[in-house]
A and B are shown apart, each in its own frame.
Chain A
Amino acid sequence: MGVDILVESLNAWYGTTHTLQDINLRIPANHATALIGPSGCGKSTFVRCLNRMHETNPDARATGMVRMGEIDIYKDASPVEIRRRVGMVFQRPNPFPTMSIYDNVISGLKLNGFRNRRILDETVERSLKQAALWEEVKDDLKKKSGASLSGGQQQRLCIARAVAVDPEVLLMDEPASALDPVSTSKIEDLIFHLKAQYTIVIVTHNMQQAARVAENTGFFLSGKMVEFDSTHKIFTNPRDKRTEDYITGRFG
């Protein structure tokens, strides 16, 4: 099951650039939350702070509090533990090129030392079904490499890989921006189903996509969160002039 995410006065830097400035928001469990905003506004940095991937960059740092359910992810746990509970899907599909489809899906379990054959087999089937990829690949699970799939299939493989470790939160950083419309709509359907089990945070440049998949939407602009509300409110009656300008395409 998903958990609530509570963010309080989160700040992030790359070197001396203050990328995120005092972000406060509450992301409800088992809902999809979309983050929109122009390029470079800090929305990717924000999701990378939610699984502590931000700090893998040598001159990046972050301060503030991020609480997931009971734990403060910057105080109560190591980055490795957090990343096991918070799955991430990246902008470009990034399956492990040397691994088969099967090994890609269970890579998170296997690399953390899990070896029980029967459970691994079950996990592969369950995760690929969750990612709506099972029917397309079930016959060459171990024959084909993950890199041999099409772009849209690779991205669904990455989603299967992320859900295979049974996370509570799923972060998606523009998961469909490198995909064609058919694959995009498959991914969107998927997000719709997955939020029953996970808290989903999705960064997107595509406002129709935000409107289609997310209950809540946050609008970011130059490192600050301008507005956070229900998606319906943001798109029909935003409080802030800048939000309105952005969603009506008056700047960007």
Chain B
Amino acid sequence: MTSASVTNTTPATPQRPPLRHSRSNGMRRSFMDAFVVGLATLATLLVIAPLVAILGYLLYKGASSLNLAFFTHIPAPVGEPGGGMANSIVGSGIVLLLASFMGVPVGIAAGVYLAEFGRGKALAAAVRFTADVLNGVPSIVMGISVYALVVLKQKHFSALAGGIALAIMMVPTITRTTEEMLLIVPNAVREAALGLGVPKWRTALSISLRTASPGIITGCMLAFARVAGETAPLLFTAFGNQFWNFHLNEPIAALPLQIFIYAISPYDEWHRLAWAGALVLILLIMVSVTLVRIFAGRGILKGNS
């Protein structure tokens, strides 16, 4: 059996003209191979390096100031030692939740419109263009706009205004990723649902959106992580607060704001707290992104509605 197949195949090989300089070509190929792999590895390290450096430096500067009080106490008055950022951590949580509750549905709905209903329509082109421009609007401009539109109308700073500013910043990212992810869903899947007599809106929501959901969730997490550290849009909206506040209609503390205030202060103690705040901010973003990923991933793997 094997000898037969060998005799069958061997005569074909010598008829092929031998490659010229095959030996040096081979060396050049393996050199190029190693070179390109090396470049790619180097680039990867360059990407990871800043993250590792920032985390390392934050740990070095901030970890020593972290203690239980940091998570349970509100800022101490000037001159008094100790104090923490408990109100800022909770405040950031409230503002980000508000932003997500407003920004995620609007962003996803707009993305669904673009990919499922608006193909080739003028309104879709306008929405897509607006989203791209909005994505490039500097965050401080977003802050001033919300200040003019919400804070001046209400006549006071508020958690709500902060949430609105961050929500508007989340929308374009979420809209565009939702659209991109829906466009990847094969048309055959949509046709399968339409062919079963499922109305178009139901197909878009229950089939297309669900098939694309892992990518859309990633998009939402990116948008969330991006606005979680924003300071500028909160300066004239959420404003900051040295005390506890749970009312959406009043100024509220937020980690980036508190870090900003402490970092530009002249006191060493406050500088140390600012470093600790920055460390906590990064860790909280990492934890929340990881949690959503695990939680959402589990629902999808099960495949049950």
Question: What is A's interface to B at a CB cutoff of 8 Å?
Answer: 51, 53, 56, 58, 80-85, 87-88, 90, 92, 94-100, 103, 107-108, 110-112, 142, 145, 158, 161-162, 165
Give the CA-CA distance A190 to B300 in the complex, in Å: 32
Number of cross-chain contacts by CB at 8 Å: 79
Task: Give the complex CA separation of A81 and B304 in angstroms.
Answer: 26
Which interface class (under 10, 10 to 19, 20 to 34, 35 or more) fits B?
20 to 34
Given contacts A56-B191, A100-B304, A103-B303, are A94 and B196 in contact (CB under 8 A)? no
Note all chain A residues with C-beta closer than 8 A to B199.
Answer: 80
Secondary structure call for the B interface? helix
Residues of A within 8 A of B189 (CB): 94, 96-97
B195's closest neighbor in chain A, by CB? A88
- Selected A-B contacts with CB under 8 Å, 6 pairs: A56-B191, A90-B188, A92-B188, A107-B193, A107-B198, A161-B192
Q: Please, what's the 1-or-0 string for B187-214, where 1 marks a CB less than 8 Å from any CB in chain A?
A: 0110111111111001100110011010
Nearest chain B CB to A54 CB, angstrom units? 11
Verify if B8 is at the interface (C-beta below 8 Å from A): no
Q: How far is the CB of B302 from chain A (nearest CB, A)?
A: 8
- The answer to whether B119 has its CB under 8 Å from any CB of chain A is yes
Query: Is the beta-carbon distance between A111 and B193 smaller than 8 angstroms?
Result: yes
Would you give the shortest CB distance from A166 to chain B, in whole angstroms?
A: 11
Query: By the criterion CB–CB under 8 Å, are A94 and B303 in contact?
Result: no
A sample of 6 more A-B contacts (CB under 8 A), given A51-B195, A96-B211, is A83-B196, A84-B197, A90-B188, A99-B303, A111-B202, A112-B198
CA distance A168 to B195 in the complex (A): 14
B164, chain A: closest CB distance, angstroms: 33
State whether the Cβ of B136 lies closer than 8 Å to any Cβ in chain A. Answer: no
Which one of A81, A100, A111 has the greatest number of beta carbons of chain B within 10 Å?
A111
Complex Cα distance A63/B211, Å?
34
The answer to whether B120 and A58 touch across the interface, beta carbons within 8 angstroms, is yes
* Given A94-B186, A96-B211, A97-B211, A107-B304 contact (CB < 8 Å): no
Indicate which residue in B191, B207, B305 contacts A53 across the interface (CB closer than 8 Å): B191
Residues of A within 8 Å of B119, CB to CB, are 58
> Contact between A161 and B304 (Cβ–Cβ < 8 Å)?
no
Is there contact, CB below 8 Å, between A98 and B211?
yes
Question: Do A83 and B194 touch (CB < 8 A)?
Answer: yes
